[in-house]
Structure 1
């Protein structure tokens, strides 16, 4: 089991790497050349800045039992299909039961924006988000270690 992070938009990297270090898990963080990420534990892999280049690397690297951290619902859906565990940077766990509704909501929001409408902006990150990420990442690691 390894932890793969879509690092372009992941503010919880220090939480992730600290937990991974404690459990001696491999961590791979992907980012494009427009981002500069350094970590004390794990590996940062830089890819070209092309459309969805980081997403494609995450999906291609993912395998059964890995933990993927991404806020992209499309990446989450593909990784779930590869039997990986997927969690958002805010700590929400994606499942086969909830990903369909999330993809549908994303589609409806895109449709509204294309029509000139507005959708709510993303909320600022809170301490509750950090706590949820930590707790649910630990939950997924412990669940995997029991299986």
Structure 2
């Protein structure tokens, strides 16, 4: 059975994910360190983990597997989930797979090195907008359908 796991701390598409999960009748698990209201939707459960570095990530990575879908912006978590056989999608709709996760990890590490070498380097991308939400909705619908079919 497919489960949709959401790395819910700072996830901008929780409501959109819930709409898609409800339409496809897929259980959804929001995992966070707290501060999120539980949903009244019977398909949505909330797991609050202990505070700490990567505790929510570990909870998700330990439970996801083939047939599951994970929504996260966290590249190391995405890598663990892909290796566990889950399908991974970012809030902007980008799907992470075995074919592209290595490149994303390398880019993440490179940017981390650049930031540590130059404390004045101002990173950051463009603001999250309506186009990102629309791309996410389309991609999540497609990925969940694929996951349910096997």
The TM-score with structure 1 as length reference comes to 0.93
Measured after TM superposition, the shift of residue 119 of structure 1 is 4.6
> After superposition, what is the alpha-carbon deviation per residue over 1:8-49, rounded to whole angstroms, capped at 9, x for unaligned?
02110011001111111110000103x323324201111111
Q: CA RMSD in A?
A: 1.3
Unpaired runs of 5+ residues, structure 2, are none
- Aligned residue number for residue 30 of structure 2: 29
Count of aligned residue pairs for this structure pair: 146
CA distance in 2, matches of 1:5, 1:51: 17
Moved segments of 4+, more than 3 Å: none
The aligned residue for residue 16 of structure 1 is 17
Unpaired runs of at least 5, structure 1: none
Alignment match, 1:129: 132
Matches of 1:17 and 1:89, distance apart in 2: 13
Cα distance in 2 for partners of 1:78, 1:115 equals 27
Counterpart position of 1:110: 112
After superposing the two structures, state which structure 1 stretch, 92-101 or 112-121, moved more.
112-121
Per the TM alignment, residue 4 of structure 1 is displaced from its structure 2 partner at its CA by 0.3
1:88 is the counterpart of 2:90: yes
